Structure 1
Amino acid sequence: MSVIATLGPKDTFSDMATRKYMDARSMSAELVYFPTLKTTFNAIGNTADFGVLPIENLSEGYVQVVLDALMSTELAILDEVLLPIKFAFVSSCQDLSELEHLYVQFVAHGQCSEFIEGLPDVTVHNTQSNMESLAQLQGRKNVGAVIPHHALSHWQEQGLVIDNVTDYAHNQTRFLVLGRAPKPYDENVPYKTTLVVRDDHDKPGVLGSIITAFSNRKINMTSIMSRPTKSQLGKYHFFIDIEGHCTHPDIAQAIAQINAAYRVKVLGSYPIQNANLY
């Protein structure tokens, strides 16, 4: 049986995304939870055959630790999962004025910033997972946590509950499914391709070269994200999403053109998903 790695514990958004991905494909696999995004990523291709990790949130943008891990991986992106995101607040307090400590997962912090910034004189503690935030409340007074709305069923104590503390009503997170090898191409399915362009030799005009190579062939770029190389200030790599499969002649030619001046790594071509499927 295959093993799938994701950020735990049970009932995190990563867990939900993984289960919905498996259910949509009637997939039977052992689901293994890891304590951090980095340990989850490192398990894929080693102790796990596949992994599901968050890559982008509607309000907060890209998850930087996952982008950095993609830079050096030999894994392939196989699929994407889109998941609606809604957070609630729970506390042992009867009133917000009693709150002294708030626990919130480090990515969720940015997605609920308006609520958090409105809490005066509260010490905020960032955690590795949303369910870890909930666990911090057990048996303690004057503490609260931001947790996934679906996890409210785990909160059995008397206290304060605020149903929705998310900044944006239609918040959504995109997850990537990673594995050792690319999936076979299906010509009947619309694809997107994720790639990274590395400017190792500090050549000028890298952005212009990328845009020209794709626009001249009428290839739609849906996103571009710069990320520091961590070797020198002012040096960046570029993560790019385009519509289409990397084996399409126009896309293959565009990649070859860019690769002639810079270093291109295709992270994967995978089916485009929509919110209705997941």
Structure 2
Amino acid sequence: MPETAPTRRTYSYLGPAGTFTEAALAQVPEARDQHWRAVRNVGEALADVVEGRSDAAMIAIENSVDGGVSTAQDALATMAGLRIVGEYLVPVNFVLVGRPGTRLEDVSLVAGHPVAYAQCLGWLTDALPAHAHIPAASNVASALGILDGTSDADAAIAAPGIVAHHDLAVLAESIGDNPNAVTRFVLVSRTVAPAPPTGADKTSLIVELPEDHPGALLELLEQFATRGINLSLLASRPIGDALGRYRFVIDADGHVYDERMADALLGLRRFSPKMIFLGSYARADRAIVRYPDRYSDDVFVEARDWLRSLISGAPEA
């Protein structure tokens, strides 16, 4: 019998082609030569995963300039059955593009997403001091608008990948004001068991304060501090049911299979039953997680064995 062709996996990403999200998805080895499904927003990408239209979705979660992506954080907090399985970093490098034949000195109207425009404002002010800005729904939309005539702009701010998909002239490169700007993306699948630890791992959580009282946030943070766990992200998001009610988006260094992290999660669960485990996965920078020897797995195992010996009535060594 002829061999059956392997089923292609589907990955959702914020489209259309040429976005930074597409550049992040291109970093996933197992996504190459698979079906990439362009969607219009983060909610649609994650719904694809939950409802089975896609095997995984790539979404932006944090930007080094603007901080956490609130729409993504809120979606992960309210949509059940999701798990982060990887993270990827994409440098935020913008280009100014126009229709073929356009010259930089002819540009007076610039289209761009408001966030992208804000990150390029210094360059634009210097290079095009008399320009005006036309807000666009996305960076790709700003570029497509000048191609199809739906925008009055002379040029558009876009990701460099746009020129691989559309006939656009690059009028200027590297127009972002912060050369170190980076966006962090996460690959999200349906709930699966965490991959084995690598030693360079991160654990993502969303935790609600059970009640508002003095020291409540300190109690939450102590679950990590007393176990030697460093936090690389701590962001608050309103729950929405009342003023002063917040949930916290947390990235902690380490893996759920680490004894110190598992012990911290148990403490967090006792502190706040409304806790979402988003996943443990390899860090994009592959930086090994360092911690003092007193928080090694052996120390936690020895303490647990010691307690068991007390309970069992075994003679002390």
TM-score using structure 1 length: 0.86
Judged with a 3 Å threshold, the aligned counterparts in structure 2 of structure 1 residues 139 and 72 are, in CA distance, closer, same or farther, namely: closer
Structure 1 range deviating more: 187-196 or 109-118: 109-118
Query: Is residue 173 of structure 1 aligned with residue 183 of structure 2?
Result: yes
Question: How far, CA to CA, are the matches of 1:154 and 1:28 in structure 2?
Answer: 17
CA contact (8 A) 1:88 1:165 kept: yes
Structure 1 range deviating more: 5-14 or 110-119: 110-119
Structure 1 range deviating more: 247-256 or 2-11: 247-256
Runs of 4+ in 1 over 6 A off after TM superposition: none
Judged with a 3 Å threshold, the aligned counterparts in structure 2 of structure 1 residues 275 and 174 are, in CA distance, closer, same or farther, namely: farther
Higher helix proportion, which one? 2
Question: How far, CA to CA, are the matches of 1:234 and 1:117 in structure 2?
Answer: 40
Unpaired stretches in structure 2, ≥5 consecutive residues: 1-7, 288-317
**AA paired with 1:112?**
C
CA contact (8 A) 1:82 1:275 kept: no
SS of residue in 2 equivalent to 1:44: helix
Structure 1 range deviating more: 170-179 or 267-276: 267-276
Judged with a 3 Å threshold, the aligned counterparts in structure 2 of structure 1 residues 261 and 139 are, in CA distance, closer, same or farther, namely: closer
Higher strand proportion, which one? 1
Question: How far, CA to CA, are the matches of 1:152 and 1:224 in structure 2?
Answer: 36
Judged with a 3 Å threshold, the aligned counterparts in structure 2 of structure 1 residues 106 and 179 are, in CA distance, closer, same or farther, namely: farther
1:147 paired residue number = 158
1:44 paired residue number = 49
2:78 paired residue number = 72
**AA paired with 1:238?**
F
Judged with a 3 Å threshold, the aligned counterparts in structure 2 of structure 1 residues 126 and 232 are, in CA distance, closer, same or farther, namely: farther
The 5 A counterparts of 1:130-141 are 130-138=139-147, 140=149
SS of residue in 1 equivalent to 2:222: helix
Query: Is residue 265 of structure 1 aligned with residue 270 of structure 2?
Result: no
The 5 A counterparts of 1:53-202 are 53-74=59-80, 75-91=82-98, 94-95=103-104, 98-100=107-109, 102-115=110-123, 120=130, 122-127=132-137, 129-138=138-147, 140=149, 142-153=153-164, 156=167, 161-202=171-212
SS of residue in 2 equivalent to 1:59: coil
CA contact (8 A) 2:207 2:275 kept: yes
1:227 paired residue number = 237
Question: How far, CA to CA, are the matches of 1:70 and 1:240 in structure 2?
Answer: 12
Question: How far, CA to CA, are the matches of 1:193 and 1:265 in structure 2?
Answer: 11
Judged with a 3 Å threshold, the aligned counterparts in structure 2 of structure 1 residues 115 and 155 are, in CA distance, closer, same or farther, namely: farther
Higher relative contact order (CA 8 A, sep 6+): 1
Cα deviation 1:21-77 (Å, max 9, x = unaligned): 1xx347552111112222222212221110001111111111111111011122000
The 5 A counterparts of 1:204-215 are 204-215=214-225
Alignment length (residue pairs): 271
Taking only aligned residues, the RMSD between alpha carbons, in angstroms, comes to 2.5
Question: How far, CA to CA, are the matches of 1:220 and 1:275 in structure 2?
Answer: 16
Query: Is residue 30 of structure 1 aligned with residue 35 of structure 2?
Result: yes
2:314 paired residue number = none
SS of residue in 2 equivalent to 1:11: coil
Rg: which structure is higher? 2
TM-score using structure 2 length: 0.77
SS of residue in 1 equivalent to 2:146: coil
CA contact (8 A) 2:107 2:155 kept: no
Judged with a 3 Å threshold, the aligned counterparts in structure 2 of structure 1 residues 28 and 43 are, in CA distance, closer, same or farther, namely: same
SS of residue in 1 equivalent to 2:13: strand
Question: How far, CA to CA, are the matches of 1:184 and 1:275 in structure 2?
Answer: 17
After TM superposition, give the deviation of residue 202 of structure 1 in Å. 2.4
Unpaired stretches in structure 1, ≥5 consecutive residues: none
